[in-house]
């Protein structure tokens, strides 16, 4: 918890609770810290009449319990207005902040007794505009795989193949150990440190086997890691992002539009569109806790909607209403 030094004790206790009791990942707990640290600094500035121009220099460490007790629903909406208009937070960022505040104040009121009432209980989540996730078409995916080159081409091809076929998260891919590999599957650690099995198709098995032939074996620093850097250490997430961007550029694809996570979107879309994969099966493949999250990935393109309309069994039934009347009149 050293990274949370600029936090009051009750916030540190909450973060420990979320990680140890609720089983949240380090990354998720750190996001809670960022959200709540921002809120506490805002609370301090407002209650102590400190100019918000000095917000970034303001510490949260000494925000008292009494100041917490002064928070009501109206104050929370004022804060959300501040992060929206002044700090220019996106809808998704504001939604995450609302979720963090709800969880934090529920903990303070129901688990610790620090607060008698939960001011965030009725705090509404910002309405998010529903935009379809960006993804590579089948042709673009093939083009990306065909464009891989360079001294680490075999490794990079394997990485892209796993992303596009399995829909792995970045953290899941870099966390793969050699011991996680089975004959036609691998084990990954997903969000919340949840373990799941990912089944491999022929393209993935072949790509892994080809990479294992050239993967360094001597003087390897991280012997467990599947994917190694040129320094023979576990390949970092940041380096994988560089690799993906380089190959997207080589394939002539827009790197401002596509990224590592968009390859996950692509895998989900291609499986759903071409593989007749049931949405609940896809939920398991992608490691989603909520089905609603999977349904965002399984968007249907306009061509499929058009085809569905044409395939309706009533599509060729022409209206005869009025024709009989006209025939009678004639």
The two structure tokens encoding residue 206: 């072949």
Q: Are 120 and 104 in contact (CB under 8 A)?
A: yes
Q: Quick check: is 191 catalytic? A: yes
For this structure, is 102 an active site residue?
no
Strand residue runs (E) in the chain = 185-189, 195-199
Catalytic residue among 96, 264, 265, 273: 264
DSSP 220-247: -S-TTBSSB-TTSSBPPHHHHHHHHHHH
261 is catalytic: yes
288 in active site: yes
Residue among 325, 187, 168 at smallest CA distance from 260: 168
Active-site entry in 96, 102, 215, 288: 288
Which entry of 107, 157, 258, 297 is annotated as an active-site residue? Answer: 297
118 Cβ contact partners less than 8 Å away, ≥ 6 residues apart: 105, 106, 108, 109, 110
From the candidates 37, 169, 234, 262, give the one annotated as an active-site residue. Answer: 169
Given 47, 143, 261, 299, which residue is catalytic? Answer: 261
User: Of the residues 12, 47, 106, 191, which is catalytic?
Assistant: 191
Q: Is 17 a catalytic residue?
A: no
- Say how many Å lie between the first and final Cα of the chain, rounded: 90
Active-site positions read 169, 191, 261, 264, 288, 297
């Amino acid at each position: 918890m050293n990274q949370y030094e600029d936090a009051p004790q009750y916030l540190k206790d909450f973060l420990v609770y979320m990680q140890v009791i609720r089983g949240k990942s380090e990354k998720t707990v750190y996001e809670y810290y960022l959200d709540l640290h921002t809120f506490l600094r805002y609370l301090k500035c407002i209650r102590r009449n400190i100019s918000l121009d000095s917000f970034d220099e303001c510490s949260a460490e000494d925000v008292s319990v009494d100041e917490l007790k002064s928070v009501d629903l109206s104050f929370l909406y004022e804060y959300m207005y501040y992060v929206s208009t002044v700090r220019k937070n996106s809808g998704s960022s504001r939604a995450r902040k609302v979720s963090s505040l709800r969880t934090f104040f529920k903990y303070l009121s129901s688990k610790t007794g620090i607060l008698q009432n939960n001011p965030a209980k009725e705090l509404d989540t910002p309405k998010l505009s529903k935009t379809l996730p960006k993804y590579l078409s089948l042709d673009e995916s093939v083009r990306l795989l065909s464009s891989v080159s360079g001294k680490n081409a075999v490794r990079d091809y394997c990485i892209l193949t796993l992303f596009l076929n399995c829909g792995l998260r970045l953290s899941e891919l870099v966390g793969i150990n050699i011991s996680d590999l089975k004959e036609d599957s691998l084990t990954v650690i997903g969000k919340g440190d949840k373990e799941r099995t990912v089944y491999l198709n022929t393209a993935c098995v072949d790509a892994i086997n080809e990479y294992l032939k050239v993967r360094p074996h001597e003087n390897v620093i991280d012997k467990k890691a599947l994917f190694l850097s040129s320094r023979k250490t576990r390949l970092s997430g940041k380096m994988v992002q560089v690799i993906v961007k380089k190959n997207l550029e080589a394939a002539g694809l827009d790197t401002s539009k596509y990224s590592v996570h968009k390859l996950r979107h692509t895998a989900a879309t291609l499986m759903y569109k071409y593989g007749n994969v049931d949405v609940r099966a896809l939920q398991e493949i992608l490691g989603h806790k909520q089905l609603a999250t999977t349904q965002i990935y399984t968007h249907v393109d306009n061509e499929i909607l058009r085809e569905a309309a044409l395939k309706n069994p009533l599509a060729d039934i022409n209206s005869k209403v009025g024709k009989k009347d006209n025939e009678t009149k004639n």
